[in-house]
Structure 1
């Protein structure tokens, strides 16, 4: 298993995610996923783009309602594997995984699941960058990799500061 710059940089924040309530964790996940999708740009495969857009809309509604996970209809969950098979564009499959993780959370979004969602977002952007080699040195040289980590760290810091 390759250790990514993200793993190295974010490891120290992993335990602090448990200080957030489940609804705060979902709000944080959604904020990072929204930003990541903007950074990735348009996903060309319509079925994948549509699935993600619908899932993100369900996520926005869940955050507005103060829920602790995204509720996707059973038929949407059932279509996941088919849609993921079409997600060959760099980053698309990672975003599908992040979305599914936020909905496949029987007890709400746990700190561990949130950490995984943040990792999926980083890996999706890393894949979209088209870097031939994934290693800490190359990632440190890549402005987008550094930007993603800085953004995620600032989101976590803001969420922790607002939890009072």
Structure 2
């Protein structure tokens, strides 16, 4: 997280300048990409739940909502799924999705910043890094790829492609 914090902190306050629906669109784009980049998730129940949550998010986005509106049964299953989310990165993805729904006034810039951090952590956890440090993250190509993707998404959402 050292590298991500260093590279993404300058965008923290600017995320609030993205319109509400745009923040959800950005969060979904990054979460979709992150899940794809993570590779296969072996626990079928976890993968299916993540897919279901993302489908709900895209449905909410199409409806013009500024957050994910999880049906009660999905929220009820969250704890159960999180308990079996033992593969690296899966718990972080669950947290990112929950953050997108636990936003009474819509997804704020601050919550979006947390979602982006969870997505970076999800991939970081799947990389073969023995000791986390700025140097180790700098040496890992995937870490740079994640940050470059997220920066590009943020800049595009801010109107600066």
Normalised by the length of structure 1, the TM-score is: 0.95
CA distance in 1, matches of 2:50, 2:130: 26
**Residues 1-16 of structure 1: pairs in structure 2 closer than 5 A:** 4-16=2-14
Q: Report the counterpart of residue 39 of structure 1 in structure 2.
A: 37
Hey, what does 1:142 align to over in structure 2?
140
Provide, for residues 100-149 of structure 1, a one-character-per-residue CA deviation record: whole Å limited to 9, x for no partner. 10111111000110000000000000001131111111000000000000
Alignment of 1:51-70 (within 5 A): 51-70=49-68
Q: 1:110 aligns with which of 108, 111, 117?
A: 108
Match in the other structure for 1:93: 91
RMSD of Structure 2 on Structure 1 (CA): 1.0
Distance 1:9 1:148 in 2: 11
Alignment size in residue pairs: 160
Runs of 4+ in 1 over 6 A off after TM superposition: none
| Matching residue of 1:84 | 82
1:69 is displaced (CA, Å) by 0.4
1:151 pairs, out of 132, 149, 152, with 149
Question: Where in structure 1 are there 5+ consecutive unaligned residues?
Answer: none
How does 1:120-139 map onto structure 2 within 5 Å? 120-139=118-137
Please give the alpha-carbon distance, in whole angstroms, between the structure 2 residues aligned to 1:67 and 1:133.
40
Q: Does 1:19 align with 2:17?
A: yes
Shift of 1:42: 1.5
| CA distance, structure 2, for counterparts of residue 133 and residue 87 of structure 1 | 22
**How many angstroms apart in 2 are the aligned matches of 1:69 and 1:130?**
33
Gap regions ≥5 residues in structure 2: none
Aligned partner of residue 128 in structure 1, secondary structure: coil
Q: TM-score, normalised by structure 2?
A: 0.96
Partner of 2:69: 71
